[in-house]
Amino acid sequence: MRASVRPILVLAALLALALPAEAHKLKVFAAVDGLSVHGYAFFIGGGRPEGSAWIAKNGAGATIASGTTDAEGRFAFELPAAPAGDVTITVDTHEAHIASATLSARTLGAADAAQPPPQPAAAQPGAGVTDDARLAALVAAAVERGTEPLQERIEMMDSRLRFADILSGIFLIIGLVGIGLWARSKRR
């Protein structure tokens, strides 16, 4: 059997190098609208986790909000006025399905992003905001809202079960069977 194992192992090693698995079975989609974040968790191939724990953390690892998903796997929360860095939302079904989504600091709170130092903006809203900056913030928020369905669609397409992948899995197994039988017949 050893002779047949070696090519399989080599093949597996090559595949492992070429394709780092990054997606998980559970996925999280999140979108920002002004200072409120909403989204949902979903299973690739169908289904939403109901009543699962979710937690949102900022870039420093501090908890912003937490709760449990509703019947549709949804969650929503308000951002603090000045979110520090990226916000990561993690959903844990408490039975080994864990997934998270990260909203980059750039897409978060367009109003805050328009001003380089977010701290003073939170302290004195409106002060020092030029018309240009406010316009830029409005445009950024509108673009974010307008592209949300697209982002959602991309996320879904990204994690679809593809027929071609299923077929290649089946044929890879058939190939392994062939290699095994061939190697055994060679040795006789």
Partner 1 sequence: MAHIPDGVLSVPVLAGGAVIAAAGVALGLRLLDDRLIPRAGVLAAAVFVLSLISVPVGPSSVHLLLTGLMGLMLGAAVFPAVLVMLLLQALLFGFGGLTTLGVNTVNIALPGFIAAALLGPAIRASRNAAKRGALAALLGALSVAGTGGLVALSLALSSSSYTPVARVLIATYLPLMVGEAFVTAAVVSFLARVQPDALRPASA
- In the complex, which residues of this chain contact partner 1 (CB under 8 A)? 1, 5, 12, 15-16, 19-25, 43-52, 92-99, 159, 161, 165-166, 168-170, 172-174, 176-177, 180-181, 184
Q: Quick one: 55 or 133, whose CB is closer to partner 1?
A: 55
180 exposed, middle or buried (CB, 10 Å; 0-12, 13-18, 19+)?
A: middle
For residue 183, CA distances in Å to 10, 124, 169, 170, 171 come to 15, 76, 21, 20, 18
| Cβ neighbours for 42, distance < 8 A, ≥ 6 positions apart | 26, 27, 28, 29, 48, 49, 73
Q: Quick one: 5 or 142, whose CB is closer to partner 1?
A: 5
Q: Quick one: 150 or 161, whose CB is closer to partner 1?
A: 161
Least spacing, CB of residue 104 vs partner 1, in Å: 20
Least spacing, CB of residue 71 vs partner 1, in Å: 10
Q: How far apart are CA 128 and CA 34, in angstroms?
A: 20
Q: Quick one: 15 or 138, whose CB is closer to partner 1?
A: 15
Least spacing, CB of residue 60 vs partner 1, in Å: 17
